[in-house]
Amino acid sequence: MDYQTLLKLAQEAKYRAYAPYSGFRVGAALLTSSGKVYLGCNVECASYAATSCAERTAIVKAVSEGELCFKAIAIASDSKTCTFPCGICRQVIVEFGEDIDIIVGTGEVDLEVFKISELLPKAFTKINIE
């Protein structure tokens, strides 16, 4: 799957967001190494700490279905600028590999690709606890 299509799926996923407090809708599309795509959206809660970001929603869906190898994740929002994963999401993404591509953009054509290792250098990973 090309990354423009993945970003388009993330843009569609944002419309499922439950964001009554911030009004900031985010969608994610996670591409697994097997080629399957899992969508996620942010789900807010009155107790903000219980809120789930779109990226983590997609990852939890994939893991719950037995997928553990990820190739890329696209992130889209209503913002006029690119929306990047928050710090917690970066930590969760790197748990599954430092070579995962992060795709951000403001439109189907306008996109940028980063490795999670670029967005979270010197990450705390499983090698730190072995």
Binding-site residue numbers for Zn(2+) are 53, 86, 89
Residues annotated within a binding site for substrate: 42-48
Concatenate the DSSP letters of all residues of 10-39 into one string: HHHHGGG-B-TTT---EEEEEEETTS-EEE
Catalytic residues: 55
> Up-side HSE of residue 12: CA atoms within 13 Å toward CB?
10
Contacts of 130 (CB under 8 A, 6+ apart): none
Question: Rounded to the nearest 5 degrees, what angle is found at the Cα of 84, between the Cα atoms of 83 and 86?
Answer: 120
Task: Report the binding-site residues.
Answer: 42-48, 53, 86, 89
